[in-house]
A and B are shown apart, each in its own frame.
Chain A
Amino acid sequence: DAGITQSPRYKITETGRQVTLMCHQTWSHSYMFWYRQDLGHGLRLIYYSAAADITDKGEVSDGYVVSRSKTENFPLTLESATRSQTSVYFCASSTTSGITDTQYFGPGTRLTVL
């Protein structure tokens, strides 16, 4: 049971480059989420998706794009990476929206933008 996986685990890129972070879950969970984790800010929601082809912005969505053509995949794209997007990115999923349900997190992707 693979659960929820993220790739790559580590990524170094340069300012202005496009970067895509992958997230894959094997549970067929309806909801998926992208967070970024930064010192002093905790976790902040970037985007979430209630189902395939349904996405919505979170607290810090500027500069990011998501898609969800299949239930199990939820890629996050940085269209033109900036240094301020250096962070650890976590993908999560849940059967509902997390109101009373558990969110299951991937292991994270550490992104460095030079």
Chain B
Amino acid sequence: GDSVTQMEGPVTLSEEAFLTINCTYTATGYPSLFWYVQYPGEGLQLLLKATKADDKGSNKGFEATYRKETTSFHLEKGSVQVSDSAVYFCALSEMNRDDKIIFGKGTRLHILP
């Protein structure tokens, strides 16, 4: 079945460092891909999404490119801030597949000042 695998955390970086959080997926068709972020004590909120191959989603300095050839959707940011400390979830949803979204297990990110 469909699945999402993301790198295990926690990931600890210094402020202004470059961030990559890896996400790969397994799907039989052509899924839409998402990154959600969960700040401490809050629910998840959409960070960015891409609906077809080679699309790039971007928001708040974060980017991710839908790579069908490598079945990946890695999250990147050029210069992280302390306020980026959160848990990040990669997710997919596939047309005509039970109308649900599948989440990865989440990657906790700590940014040190």
Q: Which B residues have a C-beta under 8 Å from some C-beta of A?
A: 32, 36, 41-46, 49, 51, 89, 93-95, 99-101, 103-106
> In whole angstroms, what is the CA distance A70 to B98 when docked?
23
A-B contact count (CB 8 A): 55
> Which chain B residues lie closer than 8 Å to A4 at the CB level?
43
B46 & A43 in contact (Cβ 8 Å cutoff):
no
Which residue in chain A gives the minimum CB-CB distance to B42? Answer: A107
Q: Which A residues have a C-beta under 8 Å from some C-beta of B?
A: 4, 31, 35, 40-43, 45, 48, 50, 58, 90, 92, 97-100, 102-108
B44 & A105 in contact (Cβ 8 Å cutoff):
yes
A58/B93 contact (C-beta < 8 A), A102-B46, A102-B49 known: no
CB distance from B106 to the nearest CB of A (A): 5
> Which chain B residues lie closer than 8 Å to A48 at the CB level?
99-100
> In whole angstroms, what is the CA distance A42 to B23 when docked?
14
> In whole angstroms, what is the CA distance A42 to B38 when docked?
11
Which residue in chain B gives the minimum CB-CB distance to A31? Answer: B99
List of 5 A-B pairs having minimum Cβ-Cβ separation, nearest first: A105-B43, A97-B99, A42-B105, A43-B103, A98-B101
> In whole angstroms, what is the CA distance A41 to B4 when docked?
12
CB distance from A89 to the nearest CB of B (A): 10
A103 & B101 in contact (Cβ 8 Å cutoff):
yes
CB distance from A52 to the nearest CB of B (A): 16
